[in-house]
Amino acid sequence: MTMLPPPSAKKLGLVIDLDICVGCHACAVACKEWNAGGIAGPLTDEDPYGAEPMGVWFNRVHSYTLDALEDQPAMTLHFPRSCLHCEQPACVTVCPTGASYKRAEDGIVLVDEDKCIGCKLCSWACPYGAREYSEVEGVMKKCTLCVDRIYNENIPEVSRQPACVQACPTRARHFGDLGDEDSAISKLVADRGGVPLMPDLGYAPVNRYLPPRPRRGGETKPAPMPEEKLDASQLPPLLRWLDRALSR
């Protein structure tokens, strides 16, 4: 059993705005591209163009159709899913080799593939389905919050954020320190009522989801415009001729 470090003041994580996510999968593709060559790479695919393709994806986007309610029309909800970097991650505490661990300095949960024996205990323990097993490498993989990118001083500071955040075309994804109440990301959560995923389980996920804003119901029909009668005798000669021609 792997022990957890003391709670850290710094809690790096993501905030995802479900109100403006359009389900384009740009986050998933950008994540796949970056991490295929990063510390968690390769992210292999098996039979990618066949009848039953399989592969390792750290980000997955699920789409759901929500039924209409009294004050809410039917809508499609796009729900991105990845590791939530819990404060009390079950995936870490069940790991028999210490391969799954939580960083004390920023709260990021990672996998040391050199120690991983592919037992899959962590994937069974994770209630969010955020673990990805590579059949090719025989080890468990997961979202790293692009740890090899966010601390990389060799790239511009504006690019030191997870690939999924930088790629999102609608700015539905945000990254920052959720342990700092004065950070921009924490203020966004407070303003929009951001919520953790299934907090009753007790794993204290760091990531937050911003709920969709209320939608308007069916539009009421506008009142009919009063009918205007045209006095053709008051029109210029050309328009009187045109009115007669179109009225035939």
Q: Which DSSP category does 67 fall into?
A: P
Q: Per the structure block, which two tokens stand in for 34? A: 């970056």
Q: Is 115 exposed, middle or buried (0-12, 13-18, 19+ CB in 10 A)?
A: middle
- Locus of tokens 């510390």: 39
pTM for this model (two decimals): 0.82
Query: Strand 208-210 vs strand 12-17: parallel, antiparallel, or unpaired?
Result: parallel
Predicted confidence pLDDT, tens digits, the chain (248 residues): 678 998 889 999 999 999 999 999 999 999 999 999 888 889 988 888 889 888 999 999 999 998 887 777 888 999 999 999 999 999 999 999 999 999 999 999 999 999 999 999 999 999 999 999 999 999 999 999 999 999 999 999 999 999 999 999 999 999 999 999 999 999 999 999 999 999 999 999 999 999 998 876 655 555 566 666 667 677 777 777 777 777 76
Classified as helix, coil or strand, 101 is strand
Q: Per the structure block, which two tokens stand in for 220? A: 């009421």
Cα distances (angstroms) measured from residue 5 to each of 42, 76, 95, 101, 144: 28, 40, 14, 9, 17
